Structure 1
Amino acid sequence: MPQHTSPPICRDCEGFATATITTGTRNTDGTRVTLRVDCRACKGTGHTRPAHVLVQVGR
């Protein structure tokens, strides 16, 4: 039986909206330099808008 969530989870990132990527270099204190990247589809929220909020374009 399917589980329903409110609001729906983003199908591009499946709810894992932010990823941290190491660049391979180190800071002066020895920690790794990292980049934080957000999902483009949900803009880092992990959720999508309900279908009735979206606007249909075209025919």
Structure 2
Amino acid sequence: MQHTPARTRRCPDCDGFPAVVITTGTRHTDGSRATIRVTCPACKGTGNANPARTTVTVGK
């Protein structure tokens, strides 16, 4: 019997990699690279997707 993996609520925009560090191309005086940290705007850096809200119209 083969078990199916549990469903994850991974963010579809960042695919579970919510924060990355990007080099700017410049270097500090000690020789290390200058970097900036960027987080996913969709999940706000958590890596998890919010459950989709459903809208139901009732009546006329």
When normalised by structure 2's length, the TM-score is: 0.74
Distance 1:18 1:28 in 2: 26
Distance 1:50 1:25 in 2: 40
Measured on the aligned residues, the alpha-carbon RMSD in Å equals 1.6
Structure with the higher fraction of residues in helix conformation: 1
Q: What percent of counterpart residues are identical? A: 56
The aligned residue for residue 22 of structure 1 is 23
Q: Give the partner amino acid of 2:50.
A: R
Q: Larger C-alpha radius of gyration, 1 or 2? A: 2
Q: Which runs of 4+ in 1 moved over 2 A?
A: none
Q: How many residues align?
A: 52
Q: How far did residue 50 of structure 1 move?
A: 2.0
Distance 2:25 2:10 in 1: 32
Q: How far did residue 3 of structure 1 move?
A: 3.5
The aligned residue for residue 4 of structure 1 is 7
Structure 2: gaps (5+ residues)? 56-60
